[in-house]
Structure 1
Amino acid sequence: TSGVLFRTEKKLLRTQLSLVNKVLARNPKLAAEVLPVVADAFGHEDSEVQERALQVVARHLKAVDEQMCRELAEAASLLGPAHRSAAEAVFGGRLGAPERLPYEEILPPVPEPQFLPGPEGTLEELVEDLLVQQRSDSAMEYERALDGLVRHAHNNKEALASQLREAFADAYWQNANGFALHRDYDHFQHGPRGMDAVLASVLGKVKPERIEAGRNQPVPMTACVHGAMEASHEIRIWEIAHLIGGGTLPLLLSTPTRHTGGIDPLELVRRLREYVEAGLEPAPVDLGHALLRVRRQDPSADRAAEEAEALGSAAGARLAAWLRSENPLEATVRFHPRKEKESGRWWLVDRILVETAKRPEFRKEFPKALHWLGGGLLPNARRCYHWEQVPERWATLLPADRELLAACLLSSMASAVDGDSTRDVTGPLTLLAEGEGRVGRAVALVLAFGLGCRDADDRLRAVDALLVLAARGELDARQVGRDLAWLLAERSMKPNRLADAARTAAATGAYRTVWTMLSEALPPLLEAEQPMRGLGELLAIAADCVERCGATGELAGLERHALGRGTSQLVTQARRLRNALRQGTGQGTPETA
């Protein structure tokens, strides 16, 4: 019995409790041995399992001594508030009075900023890190290695080339091991392949015409946002490959200083000052990426703007103006309505349209590679073929503009909601939650999509992002709930996945946050003519949250189900939620712990 009662399958547990009841009815002498094991189910997450365990204990309590009764009564403290009155009837005076403490919402601590290490040290350390980075997906290690390459090429290109030639002797771009059909084979005709084009450029292994073509490649303006993001990244790499050969760049302006991809304003001013003192002009795409990454909401932004302006350079003036701007970038998310009469499935990912707001001044100041962010990207309904790929470097492109970043990530999340194989797409949500910039509808949508992902690990990362935003006071839980209601009503999201995510979030102690979200998600489902399968499970989680946080009020559509006949989970949990809302004691203030 003990092995089964630790399982999560509710039907299995209910069956086992029924069998235990029958065995004890035939052999009461086993009660002293079996009932403590049954009492372990008092702490189960499912309310019905708790109720059945209490019923089994109640029926066979007379078969144990007083000491055992007191131990069972102590275990009853694990029962949810809904079973308190029933437990009092079973155990009487043995059950102590519950502590009446004000409710406190438990939210995770606000994450401390993580700062990246300084520039690469010796040339040997750089080469060692480059070899490790070839097998790593870390965007920050990638950025730091790029900056190290630029710095060492500026100081001593010959020494760098010698080390790279030896360390990467077997690299495909050196025409090694007969990889190419002939020595003039263009290894980079389909892109820079991470930073390989930069490494090869140091050794003169990239055709000049390929570098020029890469630098001047057009950004697809009628494609998905992923195509534009990837093209912007590639153009930046080709620009570095072009300039590193001459060793003219002393450092990269766009190297992040924080794990989210953000750059501290005063650090960017310091880098620009180094350019001014060397009499050099910044590379256009490098400067553009640096401006996108600089933390405009940082407390030092005003001081940094003054110092940037004092540099007397065009780049310094641009940085000052950018730091003083408000919400310079925006995106609108729209959806095609579901076409029920069409043959085949109308996937959620096909229905998302992201349109960047027109910003003529942005397009004047930034290079062509980034014009799509200022209104150049046109929405269309063609299927996005990038949506199973979510490289971390995409999330670090816009660390200071979370709304725009969230809009860019929506199609990736959507594919993991109504797809069967897509996974590992919610990693950027961590950077999104800890980033900068406005939080609005796009962030709420991407969280809603994340909570409904097929993969459990994806849902867990979405829950973490939800709680971090709540702890920072930036979560619009009601908007997330409304978006969840829409996804559920259109059958794009499965209720059991949302139930799993909501249960996980509530178990951390964030009962009021989860209830606020579910209070918006549930009414459209309760008012639907045909109840959705799995609705009872969502009501059970909502009832548990209400019982613990003491919320009160009415929920549209709930009464109809609470008055229903039978003992189905939907009817049982609807009654439980209705009673909890009527008996609430008021909500407390959220606290972090």
Structure 2
Amino acid sequence: MSGAVSANEALLRAVRAGRMGEAAGLLDGMPDAERRACLPSLKDLRKELRAAPWDAASRKAYPALHAAGAACHTGAAGTATWLTAADLRWSQASPGVLLHVLGDRERDWLGDVAHRLADRPPLAQVPYELMSGLVRLSGCPVPTTETYVVGWIEQVGSLWQRGDTILQRLRQDPYTAELVAAVFEIADIGSRLDWLFGDGPDSWFNALAQLTREGALDRKATVDACVARLLRGGVPSDCRVFLRLLTALELTRDEERERAADWLALASDAVSTVASHAQSVLGSLALDGELTPRQLAEMSGGVLFRPEKKLVRAQLVLLGKALRRDPSSAAELLPAVAQAFGHEDTDVQERALKLVERHLDAAPPEVRGEVADAAEELSPGLRVRATETLGLDGAGRAPEPYVELLPPAPEPARVPSAPDSAVELAEEVGALLTSDGDVATFERALDGLVRHGYRDRDALAEALKPVVTRLWWVDADPQYSSTVEKHFREDPHGLEVVLATLLGQVSTATLHRAVQHGPMTDPCVHSALAAAFNARLWEAAHRLRTDPLPFLLATPTWGSGLLEPDEFVARLDEYRRLGARPGEADFTQALLRVRRDDPAATAAAADQAASLGTTEGNRLALWLTSDGPSLPWSSRRTSGVRILLELGELDGVPGEFPPAFRRLGRPVGLFSARAYCAHYWDRSERHHWLAVVPGRRELVAARLLRELSSVAVEDTRGNASVLPLIAEAPGEAGEAVHLCVAYGLGARHPEDRLSAVDALLVLAARGQLDAEALGADLGQLMHRGAVKPLRLAESVRTAATTGAYATVWEILRAALPVLLADLATDGAASSARGFGELLAVAAECAERTGARGCMAHLAQAADRRGSSRLVTQARRLRATLDHGVAA
């Protein structure tokens, strides 16, 4: 027993000192019993090193510990677990040392360890040299797991120093056939093959193709595996790599023919590059008579409705060649051609119609009926042409009157009352902390915090503790107390300042300074709205500490931020009964929110307010009987490619308003015009600003105009998310609102364009959209280069396909003449990417709505030479307006 202890101590000393050679010598020939006896001490050393600093001593010990621990485990599972442990991974023994200390074990045991290591996920980073060495020593079957195969691939690619080629390395590897077969089963392997080997003469693809030609790899199995992998789909890199391999294999005509069903599936559903290859193979077979007309028709049914126009056009070309080669195939192929009548691109529809016109005479009568039915899907202009040239009765039925389909106008939603339970309120606050929430949710929670803080502040604080634990200031170190104070002095951060006050994390002095002096100086154009919003939060927090409010006066009745006048009067009456002193900011916010568009209700509320006999009641009565602040004058100005808006002073803002609210009346031009400010980066409060001045969304839109213009001019992301809220808000939709929507329609990112389309449809549904003014704005913005025609085309196409063809036509009828004038003057617009797409949307809308008349400068565009999309769509639009075609 003393000998075993001595060996244990000697091994432990060698490992601790990092003497790898000595440790390996002690392990050589060591019996299993002694190995097991050494293992507890090695495990204790591992625990010790985990807690030790990452210094030279610990780094020196780790490799020896890694090797010794693996060797002292007598079970394969334990050895594999030790070898792949995360804490040993970054400073492990080399594969050569590990193979030395493990090499004297039984072959079955070594094979078991090899397969257990190969079963680990790639993130375990098991060295390939270790796994392959164990396979070699044990003679076990080679593993084909992802970890082993990926390691093999990387090993093959890393031996360039030897001067040989990939092909030579694969020829020398006895396991190449098994491992290549496994490559086809591993997901996302293409990026590794592509990155390591590229496309050169010494590429992976060429090497495998050559091995297949030499017979080292079974050709049929390799081709089948490659095609199966393409059918499975996956990430683009996988499809790209296996398509290159398939191309390098140079399939014979017999091999292509026997896989016709696979090509049909790939042409219909695979990624674009793979589908294009399958289409070319099938096309070659069809033109050589080795594909039946039925198979070609089946193929066309899948390809003609793919989004890639290149594939669709290539398929129509193929169908045309097949019809010329064998006119008798018209019975099978013309119904397939007619499927393209429903394609969204009218160029595709026209190509298909030309094919039908050319070959319909060779088709039996029943085919004419099928084509007639399909012609119902043609655009209105092409449908008339089909009636005239083909005599298709089905295409000539009287069109139904056009009906505009707009979404229902959003209905105002009431703000529910605050939760009765502090626990329920805390749950809602927790949800708000993880998502900004809308106006109704925020105002309900704020009012609930004030109400429960008035009733039982301690119970509320206790209920809130579990939901605020993630906030950094909750358990802030006392030495950072000044940081917390500064944090809430500069900004209330939404509900956080109220929560921090309830939990005693912010001082009364800090809250008092914020209430008295407002925010730190911030002259940006958003600061007026932000100051008014923040003033009420600071005041609510300060009053919780000094003189709690029973509830908030300004909590809106509606989610838009509007407050019913009778509800405001009832709250003031309750304040009078309780003897409570209203908060100045809260009362001012309530005045700005009170609804005054119902004269009878307003007059009744004014009389009730005056009868209260309080200062606030008298102020409310005066406010309700006065005209209130009027919308300021506006004027346009340009800034680079942008068109922006200046607002004048807001008349009628009472002098007794707190300073934070008086800033709302200042002209926009008084604020510093800066590209970036704190509000540019933090967008969480923007949707609340509309509720600060409900009914006056032009004030908000004008202050957000520069940020919204950036989605089109600077390709920023996310700023347009506020557009649907602006569209749903009450009040006049003037120049600022329409300019904001115009920039959103030209946004770089699809999600911003969708927000703008939503706003456009809401304004149209509410009868507040000035389509002509919006179109004129878009025309000028495209002329200046602020909005790109292609982006606008995508936006208005989306809006039109919802059923708003007439709305979109009115917009484009005002926008297009500006670009057409540029084209007529100097041809500059002919190079504007997307102009043809914009004309195509206009033509579609004009056809569906039955528009007629003339458009300035359209004739010059239509009379230009050539067959570009711009010219063909200009001709289509002119023809539509000349004929007044209705869908």
The TM-score normalised by the length of structure 1 is: 0.89
The separation in 2 between residues aligned to 1:247 and 1:5, in whole angstroms, is 72
| Residue number in structure 1 paired with 2:610 | 309
Opposite residue 479 of structure 1, the aligned amino acid is A
Determine if the alignment matches structure 1 residue 384 to structure 2 residue 676: yes
SS in 2 for 1:365: coil
Match of residue 6, structure 1, among 305, 308, 331? 305
SS in 2 for 1:244: helix
1:53 to 1:327, Cα distance in 2 relative to 1, 3 A:
farther
1:577 to 1:93, Cα distance in 2 relative to 1, 3 A:
closer
The separation in 2 between residues aligned to 1:318 and 1:375, in whole angstroms, is 22
Q: CA deviation at 1:322?
A: 3.5
Point out the more displaced range, 371-380 or 298-307: 298-307
The separation in 2 between residues aligned to 1:388 and 1:232, in whole angstroms, is 19
Deviations 1:499-530 (A, max 9, x none): 11111122222222111111111111111122
Deviations 1:282-307 (A, max 9, x none): 21111222222333335744443343
Match of residue 878, structure 2, among 578, 585, 590? 578
1:499 to 1:183, Cα distance in 2 relative to 1, 3 A:
closer
Opposite residue 133 of structure 1, the aligned amino acid is L
The separation in 2 between residues aligned to 1:161 and 1:23, in whole angstroms, is 79
| Residue number in structure 2 paired with 1:591 | none
Task: Please show how residues 31-46 of structure 1 align to structure 2 within 5 Å.
Answer: 31-46=330-345
SS in 2 for 1:396: helix
1:291 to 1:29, Cα distance in 2 relative to 1, 3 A:
farther
| Residue number in structure 2 paired with 1:561 | 861
| Residue number in structure 1 paired with 2:453 | 153
| Residue number in structure 2 paired with 1:533 | 833
The separation in 2 between residues aligned to 1:266 and 1:37, in whole angstroms, is 67
Determine if the alignment matches structure 1 residue 275 to structure 2 residue 603: no
Q: CA deviation at 1:87?
A: 1.0
Determine if the alignment matches structure 1 residue 138 to structure 2 residue 430: no
The separation in 2 between residues aligned to 1:327 and 1:454, in whole angstroms, is 40
Deviations 1:440-463 (A, max 9, x none): 211211111121111222222222
Opposite residue 55 of structure 1, the aligned amino acid is K
| Residue number in structure 2 paired with 1:444 | 738
SS in 1 for 2:405: strand
Q: CA deviation at 1:70?
A: 1.1
1:322 to 1:183, Cα distance in 2 relative to 1, 3 A:
closer
Determine if the alignment matches structure 1 residue 16 to structure 2 residue 315: yes
The separation in 2 between residues aligned to 1:40 and 1:315, in whole angstroms, is 71
1:290 to 1:555, Cα distance in 2 relative to 1, 3 A:
same
The separation in 2 between residues aligned to 1:216 and 1:316, in whole angstroms, is 24
Determine if the alignment matches structure 1 residue 491 to structure 2 residue 785: yes
The separation in 2 between residues aligned to 1:428 and 1:243, in whole angstroms, is 32
Opposite residue 702 of structure 2, the aligned amino acid is A
- Is 1:220–1:228's contact at 8 Å kept on the other side of the alignment? no
Q: CA deviation at 1:261?
A: 2.6
| Residue number in structure 2 paired with 1:416 | 711
| Residue number in structure 1 paired with 2:394 | 95
**Percent of aligned pairs sharing the same letter:** 44
- Is 2:383–2:396's contact at 8 Å kept on the other side of the alignment? no
The separation in 2 between residues aligned to 1:315 and 1:41, in whole angstroms, is 70
Deviations 1:532-561 (A, max 9, x none): 332222222112222221222221111211
Q: CA deviation at 1:103?
A: 2.7
Match of residue 800, structure 2, among 498, 506, 514? 506
Determine if the alignment matches structure 1 residue 175 to structure 2 residue 475: yes
The TM-score normalised by the length of structure 2 is: 0.61
Opposite residue 484 of structure 2, the aligned amino acid is D
Aligned length: 574
Determine if the alignment matches structure 1 residue 330 to structure 2 residue 631: yes
Match of residue 235, structure 1, among 515, 527, 535? 535
Match of residue 381, structure 2, among 78, 82, 95? 82
Q: Relative contact order (alpha carbons < 8 A, sep ≥ 6): 1 or 2 greater?
A: 1
Larger Rg: 2
Q: CA deviation at 1:238?
A: 1.0
Q: CA deviation at 1:31?
A: 4.5
1:325 to 1:488, Cα distance in 2 relative to 1, 3 A:
farther
Query: What CA RMSD, in Å, does the superposition of the two structures yield over aligned residues?
Result: 2.7
**Which ranges in structure 2 are unaligned for 5 or more consecutive residues?**
1-299
1:252 to 1:295, Cα distance in 2 relative to 1, 3 A:
same
1:427 to 1:398, Cα distance in 2 relative to 1, 3 A:
farther
Q: CA deviation at 1:358?
A: 4.1
- The runs of at least 4 aligned residues of structure 1 exceeding 6 Å deviation read none
Opposite residue 859 of structure 2, the aligned amino acid is E
Opposite residue 223 of structure 1, the aligned amino acid is P
1:504 to 1:326, Cα distance in 2 relative to 1, 3 A:
farther
Q: CA deviation at 1:150?
A: 0.3
Determine if the alignment matches structure 1 residue 370 to structure 2 residue 671: no
Opposite residue 683 of structure 2, the aligned amino acid is V
SS in 1 for 2:856: coil
1:310 to 1:550, Cα distance in 2 relative to 1, 3 A:
farther
| Residue number in structure 2 paired with 1:111 | 410
1:347 to 1:104, Cα distance in 2 relative to 1, 3 A:
closer
- Is 1:356–1:372's contact at 8 Å kept on the other side of the alignment? no
The separation in 1 between residues aligned to 2:745 and 2:598, in whole angstroms, is 30
- Is 1:355–1:379's contact at 8 Å kept on the other side of the alignment? no
The separation in 2 between residues aligned to 1:325 and 1:46, in whole angstroms, is 57
| Residue number in structure 2 paired with 1:398 | 693
- Is 2:335–2:371's contact at 8 Å kept on the other side of the alignment? yes
1:220 to 1:303, Cα distance in 2 relative to 1, 3 A:
farther
Opposite residue 314 of structure 1, the aligned amino acid is T
The separation in 1 between residues aligned to 2:724 and 2:564, in whole angstroms, is 19
The separation in 1 between residues aligned to 2:352 and 2:467, in whole angstroms, is 65
Q: CA deviation at 1:160?
A: 1.4
**Which ranges in structure 1 are unaligned for 5 or more consecutive residues?**
339-345, 588-593
Q: CA deviation at 1:169?
A: 4.9
Determine if the alignment matches structure 1 residue 473 to structure 2 residue 767: yes
- Is 2:563–2:590's contact at 8 Å kept on the other side of the alignment? yes
- Relative to its length, the structure with more helix (as a share) is 2
1:450 to 1:324, Cα distance in 2 relative to 1, 3 A:
farther
- Is 2:645–2:702's contact at 8 Å kept on the other side of the alignment? no
| Residue number in structure 2 paired with 1:342 | none
